[in-house]
Amino acid sequence: MNIQEIRQLIRIVEKSDIDELEIVEEGRKIRISKNHPATQVVAPGNGTTAAYLAPAPSATPPAPAAEPAAPAKEISKEEPATDSDKYYEVRSPMVGTFYRAPAPDAAPYVEVGDTVSPGQTLCIIEAMKLMNEIQSEVSGKIAKILVENAQPVEYNQLLFLIEKT
C-alpha cells in the first residue's frame, strides 16, 4: 500500500460515518480511526509499535480570542506556486529526509530532463526509519529538482517541478 492509497483511505473515513477502519495486508497493519487520542502503526517483522499521540484535552476552557485588527499575512518557507498549466508540482506528503537514490552509491531515481510516467518513483522520504517512495502522478519531463540529497523536508514542501506533456 502506498502513501496515495493511505491518503485516500483517510479521506474516505473522514467523509463517512465509519469511526474506525483496520486493514491487514502483506503482514502490515493500518488502523485509521476518528476521535481517538492515539493512532498506532505496527512495523512488520519485529512487532514494534509507534504511537502518535493527540494533544491532551485542556482542564480549563480556552480564553476567547480577541478580534484581530487585520488578517495576518501568512509567512511560508514553501516556494511560490508555479504556472499550474505548464508544471505539475510534486510536494512532500510528510516531514522527513529527502533521498534522490535508493542507496548512497546508487544512481538517482530521476535527473533534470528525464521523462517520467505515473507510478514512477521520483525519490524517497525517510520518516521515523521508514522509507517512503514518492511516485509521479503525471507524465512529463523533470524540469527542476528543488531539494538537495539527504536534506530535511517539511510537509507540503515543493520537491520537483514536472513539465506536463
Q: What is the pLDDT of residues 11-49, one digit of tens each?
A: 787 777 777 777 877 777 777 777 644 444 555 554 444
List Cβ neighbours of 60 (8 Å cut-off, separation of 6 or more).
none
Query: Cell triple for residue 93?
Result: 506528503
Question: Contact at 8 Å (CB) between 99 and 123?
Answer: yes
Give domain status of residue 131, yes or no.
yes
Contact between 94 and 135 under an 8 Å Cβ cutoff? The reply is: no
Task: Write out residues in the chain with pLDDT < 70, as ranges.
Answer: 1, 35-84
CB 116 within 8 A of CB 108: no
Structural domain boundaries enclosing 25:
3-53
Taking alpha carbons only, the member of 132, 155, 133, 128 closest to residue 49 is 128
Asked whether residue 43 falls in the same domain as residue 91, the answer is: no
pLDDT at 109: 98
- pLDDT at position 98 is 98
Question: What is the per-residue pLDDT for 65?
Answer: 52
Both 159 and 93 in one domain: the answer is yes
Q: Rounded to two decimals, what is the model's pTM?
A: 0.52
Give the integer Cα–Cα distance in Å for 83 and 134: 22
What domain count does the chain have? 2
Does residue 93 sit within a domain?
yes
- The CB-based long-range contact list for 66-71 (8 Å cut-off, 24+ gap) reads none
Residues 38, 98 within the same domain: no
In this structure, the answer to whether residues 47 and 97 fall within a common structural domain is no
Residues 49 and 96 reside in one and the same domain: no
